[in-house]
Amino acid sequence: MARRSDIAAFLGDEGDAARPGAEHAPRPIPVRQSPTPRQAFLVGPTIYLRPIELADAEVSAFWRPSPFPTPSAVVREQLTESLPVELRNGTRRLVACRRSDNQPVGSAQIASEDGRTTAVTFHVPGVFGPQRSSDLTAEMSRLLVPWLNHAQDEMVVWVQIPADDPVLARAVRVAGMKLAYCLREALLTTDGGRHELECWQALHPTWLARFGPPPDGVQGNVHRVVRSPGRLEYRGRAVDPPANAVSVGNRIYLRPIEQEDAETIARWSMRETETGFDTGRPYRSPISYWEWHRTQATERFPSWVRFAICLLRDGAVIGSHGLADIDWLDRTAETETELVRGEYRGGGYGTEAKHLLLEYGFAHLGIHMVRSVAWAFNTRSCEALRKQGYRDAGRMAWTGFKSGEMADDLVFDLLASEWRGARV
């Protein structure tokens, strides 16, 4: 086991972080002899990182980020089924093991959808306590960030950490990272309080020299006015809500997406004229688009719920939206909206649909905070989010290409208390 002074030197100190240009100049990782002969890299003073093995099922509580106790036989079955699928989808999980006895003590998930940008999330079980958790997470970040940037040639590496942890903040600074965005009250604490969640990013120095530093993110705009808040219930009408409606507004309502809706939306998307969405105009197969929705609907605790957006006057489907990446413990989610019928854009339908979705998330699911992401160049979507009450939370660099140029994402957040306070 390395001495405490060795760990402090490995993680760096505030003096290193204060040097000019330190946020883009990672310190070399000290080379130490590991007692594990097969491990030649990703080795730190007290831990090393390695891929998951079936034997890890016996101690899954020490590395698997699940709040539920799971028998080792079940974990082994899940690993056999899920690991190949996750790898095909660009997700890897590395187990952090103590060098002294090879005991798993945590893990890191590495997710990359495009092969050039990577998001890293860490897990250390609560039984280790807050101080040990900070030390282990900091050591994992100091190992992974330079490796992903320089050995894996990732253009951008993102790491999420609690905002009020000085050990982690020092470690990511020394690893050459810079704050990208901060989400308010995104993490639930053991005493029922709330932490902010920070996302730090490390940019590959070669691309940084080529493109130059991206613009800094903006945080603030707290004193805004929510002009179109949604109602908590369907009222004031002499007739019942439309069949199967979940939330009803003045002109539209939300209901579950049926197979016919998915096929309709897929076909309407092929008539798209707007090129500012994602990497261009989408094309969808009615078969695969419905299968994706069907699969989501079969999950007991789905990570993504979606609705058809329908006109109140005749039930016509004009778009879809939902809550993505739902965290049922911290009660957070990401909102997304798509109006496939272009003639209904710019008329307030998207804002009305968004507030019906927020009503569903905040009032019915008990979501505490939602976030949303939009291209920085998509000023219409960004302004719509601000109008709907979202706050600017920061900026993610180099999330994609547009018209031959690197493009950034702006990140926004909104608290349930803010939405409720502004509701009319």
Residue 37: pLDDT above 70?
no
In a domain, 239, yes or no: no
| Residues 182 and 263 reside in one and the same domain | no
Residue 166: pLDDT above 70?
yes
| Residues 44 and 182 reside in one and the same domain | yes
The pLDDT of residue 420: 85
Q: What pLDDT band is residue 368 in, cutting at 50, 70 and 90? A: very high
Q: Which of 151, 184, 211 is the last residue of a domain?
A: 211
Give the strand pairing for 194-203 and 156-162.
antiparallel
Which CATH number belongs to the domain containing residue 280 in this structure? Answer: 3.40.630.30
Q: Which of 211, 235, 256 is the last residue of a domain?
A: 211
Q: Which of 211, 238, 263 is the last residue of a domain?
A: 211
| Residues 172 and 36 reside in one and the same domain | yes
Cα–chain center distance at 310: 28
pLDDT (average), residues 403-417: 91
Task: Give the closest residue to 333 by CA, choosing from 363, 355, 356, 365.
Answer: 365
In a domain, 344, yes or no: yes
Most confident of 13-27, 212-226, 389-403: 389-403
Percent of the chain with pLDDT strictly greater than 70:
85
In a domain, 240, yes or no: no
The string of pLDDT tens digits covering residues 206-245 is 999 999 999 988 887 655 555 545 554 555 566 788 999 9
- Read off φ and ψ for residue 264, nearest 5 degrees: -65, -45
The string of pLDDT tens digits covering residues 70-115 is 999 999 998 998 888 787 888 999 999 999 999 999 999 999 988 8
Residue 189: pLDDT above 60?
yes
| Residues 133 and 61 reside in one and the same domain | yes
| Residues 81 and 206 reside in one and the same domain | yes
Name the residue range of residue 59's domain. Answer: 4-211
Model pTM?
Answer: 0.86
Give the list of residues 6+ apart from residue 149 with CB closer than 8 angstroms, or none.
26, 157, 176, 202, 204, 205
Q: What is the tally of structural domains in the chain?
A: 2
| Residues 205 and 253 reside in one and the same domain | no
In a domain, 235, yes or no: no
